[in-house]
Amino acid sequence: MTSAASVSAGRGPESGPVPVPVAAPGDLLRRLRQRHPVDPVTHVQRVPSRAGTPAPWPQWVPEELRTAYARRGVTAPWRHQAEAAELAHDRRHVVVATGTASGKSLAYQLPALATLLADPRATVLYLAPTKALAADQLRAVAGLEIESVRPACYDGDTPRAEREWIRRHSRFVLTNPDMLHHGILPGHTQWSGFLRRLRYVVIDECHVYRGVFGSHVAHVLRRLRRQCARYGNSAGPTFVLASATSGDPAATAGRLIGLPVTAVTEDASPRAGVTFALWEPPLLPAEGSAAAPAPRRAPDTPRPTDPEVLDLTQVRRSALRETADLLADGVAAGVRTLAFVRSRRGAEVVATNARRSLDEAVPGLGARVAAYRGGYLHEERRALERALLQGDLLGLASTNALELGVDLVGLDAVLICGYPGTRASLWQQAGRAGRSGQEALAVLVARDDPLDTYLVHHPEAIFGAPVEATVLDPANPYVLGPQLACAAAEAPLTVADLELFGDSTKETVEALVEAGALRQRPTGWYWRHRERPQVDLRGEGGAPVCVVEAATGRLLGTVDGGSSHFLLHPGAVYLHQGVSYVVDTLDLEDGCALVHPEEPDWSTHARDVTSLSVVSVRSYVDAGPVGLFLGEVDVTSQVVSYQRRRLSTGEVIDTRPLDLPTRELRTVAVWFTLSPESLAAAGVEPAEVPGALHAAEHAGIGLLPLLATCDRWDIGGLSTAMHPDTEAPTVFVYDGHPGGAGFAERAYGTAAAWLTATRDAINECGCETGCPSCVQSPKCGNGNNPLSKPGAVRVLDVVLNNLPR
């Protein structure tokens, strides 16, 4: 069998995958360490194995279902699976928050499938955050071979010819929140029978629904409950949620669905032992260690489009190259290895370099490595998933598209190229290894920035700290308003609906009436416009841009609108499954980039300029040398040039200008100013001011979720020693969503409490110069430089000493 990777890359063995010897993951780690003159491993954490605790089948599970699971090798559920299934069967909403690969799928499949077998008219809706996960669950349910269930995926890839059949006949529909929002709920009349008989709604990987995205999904679920009730399903469906381990899963799940939820958190599944290594790439030789020009001080953006774009340091070997070598070594040793990379471009680079190294050692072996990322065509994604599951692929470099619960059977090792930003995500990625029940290996490869460096030298920050809680706020008026408009477009809002959407619904409805979006009549509130409200759940920056091969017209893939300026500018090198293309033209109006195949010996890296200007001030506090402000701001960014860097050395060949349109975000910000005299009096020297403000900004963004029920990825920031609009040293924190999201308003209203908590967190942290627990940020656009931890404490002291309490 020819692997999917070799088909898509246009090369590979015709007689089948190249065989390789198989090494144990622990042996692989020892072998990798011995190849370096200086041991790159800074810490090894042994996560011990654990025996499972089975439980008897619940009495209500029919024999047909038990037999189906027995054919799949499941002879009894684990205790947490049975406990969650019993709760769901008793019509109690439940969230299963246990470790990766703990079998959460069985916990919701049992009550759902038992109900479908007992009631031939009942239906089940399954929601996943990604298409890959929904397709994986479809394989699992279909593999049970229960004929009457008729499971089917209903998403953007579903052919229109199949959609009508699914609406009429499928009793187990697998989809995603986006399709529920854009397709199913607006067309609810065609789904009336399905909604009337809907017994269970499964929400898989619910910890993904955080921040503004999670708040939107929370209202999509309320709209679903509303339509079920309208079609006679007065009791409503039972919600069964699955989550990675997180802080307070019951409260988070309850906010998501708007109903009380019981949590099952004690993991009773068996777990293979995992060796978790922290890996610091070696320093470059002196003759190759000349650093590239340092980037301009960039603001901390809420959604970095391509983290590798700003990775300019050359002090240590690139984490991408190190990960590619480790991936190649794993494949050569017969170890099934998955490498997580933070960006789409990075995933392609890692896969390409690993393939090249393997083909040099054993011709044809490179075909057993592939890249996996968003933007691939439907057929490519499915082929790659099949090849990985069947063992044709031994190595995969992926973005976090495979972080979620896709069942990667037999995976032996996971490489994590750069800290993914949260401990929850780190453990979720590491948990992809060990699916076969055998010993597994996880390696965090540090990028050359202070945050990653700190973590690999302070393992207690990873292994001794709890995972973060998932944060969302359905009461956010900037989310509630658009969602109420969507609900009214589906069916007029009534007084009875107001309680469903939350306590502040009435005020928001009145604001929509005043704005002309709704019309009030005796029977309710009606949507006034012909077109439906345009609400983007994920806020990805516009419609995707198609990547088309100019000579043939062949569609290669897509890039989301927010990343197109960085990845598809004229002259950009675009990688697709190991084949290199160069962009000829980018037509943003038509959403199309034309490319031609070319194998240059350089890569491209876009450079952008970002600025922030104050539009208006809503409110302010004059506190002498300190000012606190709330108002509208324009955040303007423009990709102005790109560097070409030689692949072999990273040397900058040249910088070429670009003429791309600017992008503007009109949003709401909170900011404070300080007089230079007050900073000097507090002992902050002029040279220290940029680092002190920058550190205070980072810590403020990190602490705001304590008070604003937001996610730090929904917030942006900018600090400057002299801003032209304020004419003073200033720290801005702004909502990363058009029109604002309410976070800056909350920060302004609780400024004293917010900044006191920020100051205390920095001052009480036991580190010397700053760490991820206080002033370093996982999303800093400038590599966490400069930062001054003591300067940040003095800056916040000045602010707090002058602000009224």
Distance between CA atoms of residues 749 and 618, nearest Å:
12
> Would the pLDDT of 2 be above 60?
no
> Would the pLDDT of 37 be above 70?
yes
Q: How many CA atoms lie within 13 A of 414 on its CB side?
A: 30
Question: Where does 658-717 have alpha helices with state H?
Answer: 676-681, 689-703, 705-708
Tokens coding 218: 């929370």
Which tops the pLDDT comparison, 174 or 715? 174
- Per-residue pLDDT band for 10 (boundaries 50, 70, 90) equals very low
pLDDT for position 294: 35
> Would the pLDDT of 53 be above 80?
yes
> Would the pLDDT of 9 be above 50?
no
Give 44-97 as a DSSP string: EEEE--B---B-PPPTTS-HHHHHHHHHTT--S-BHHHHHHHHHHHTT--EEEE
pLDDT for position 200: 98
Of residues 290, 334, 338, 319, the one with CA closest to residue 100: 338
Distance between CA atoms of residues 545 and 568, nearest Å:
9
| 587 dihedral zone (left: phi>0; alpha: psi -120 to 50; beta) | beta
Among 18-22, 211-215, 612-616, 761-765, the minimum mean pLDDT is found in 18-22
pLDDT for position 665: 87
With 0-12 CB in 10 A as exposed, 13-18 as middle and 19+ as buried, what is 308? buried
pLDDT for position 308: 41
Phi, psi angle pair for 329, to nearest 5° = -65, -40
- Per-residue pLDDT band for 297 (boundaries 50, 70, 90) equals very low
3-state DSSP of 277-300: EEECCCECCHHHCCCCCCCCCCCE
Distance between CA atoms of residues 782 and 310, nearest Å:
7
Tens digits of residue pLDDT in 413-464: 999 999 887 788 888 888 877 755 678 899 999 987 767 888 888 898 888 7
Instruction: Evaluate the omega torsion of the peptide bond into residue 786 and state whether it is cis, within 30 degrees of 0.
Output: yes
- Crossing angle of helices 104-118/79-89, nearest 10°? 40
Which tops the pLDDT comparison, 212 or 118? 118
Tokens coding 571: 């002259």
pLDDT for position 512: 95
Among 62-66, 304-308, 603-607, 721-725, the minimum mean pLDDT is found in 304-308
Among 151-155, 353-357, 408-412, 795-799, the minimum mean pLDDT is found in 408-412
Distance between CA atoms of residues 458 and 452, nearest Å:
10
Mean pLDDT of the chain: 86
pLDDT for position 11: 31
Distance between CA atoms of residues 86 and 71, nearest Å:
23
- Compute the average pLDDT of residues 174-181: 96
Report whether 344 contacts 374 (CB < 8 A): yes
Tokens coding 104: 């959460």
> Would the pLDDT of 324 be above 90?
yes
Report whether 274 contacts 433 (CB < 8 A): yes
Which tops the pLDDT comparison, 467 or 724? 724
> Would the pLDDT of 265 be above 70?
yes
Tens digits of residue pLDDT in 75-87: 999 999 999 999 9
pLDDT for position 303: 43
Tens digits of residue pLDDT in 623-645: 999 999 999 999 998 888 998 98
Number of CB atoms found within 10 A of residue 445's CB: 29
pLDDT for position 296: 31
pLDDT for position 326: 95
> Would the pLDDT of 221 be above 90?
yes
Tens digits of residue pLDDT in 525-584: 999 998 999 888 886 566 789 999 999 998 988 887 878 888 899 999 998 877 889 999
Report whether 89 contacts 58 (CB < 8 A): yes
> Would the pLDDT of 62 be above 90?
yes
Instruction: Note the Cα 409 to chain centre separation in Å.
Output: 23
Helix (H, G, I), strand (E, B) or coil at 548: strand
Which tops the pLDDT comparison, 533 or 503? 533
pLDDT for position 540: 59
Distance between CA atoms of residues 282 and 446, nearest Å:
10
Q: Which residues contact residue 244 at a Cβ distance below 8 angstroms, ignoring those fewer than 6 apart? A: 97, 99, 100, 205, 207, 424, 427, 428, 431, 467
Distance between CA atoms of residues 644 and 593, nearest Å:
19
Which tops the pLDDT comparison, 580 or 773? 580
Among 56-60, 80-84, 306-310, 333-337, the minimum mean pLDDT is found in 306-310
> Would the pLDDT of 305 be above 70?
no
- Per-residue pLDDT band for 201 (boundaries 50, 70, 90) equals very high
Among 528-542, 656-670, 748-762, the minimum mean pLDDT is found in 528-542
Share of the chain above pLDDT 70, in %: 89
> Would the pLDDT of 710 be above 80?
no
Tokens coding 597: 């195949």
- Per-residue pLDDT band for 773 (boundaries 50, 70, 90) equals confident
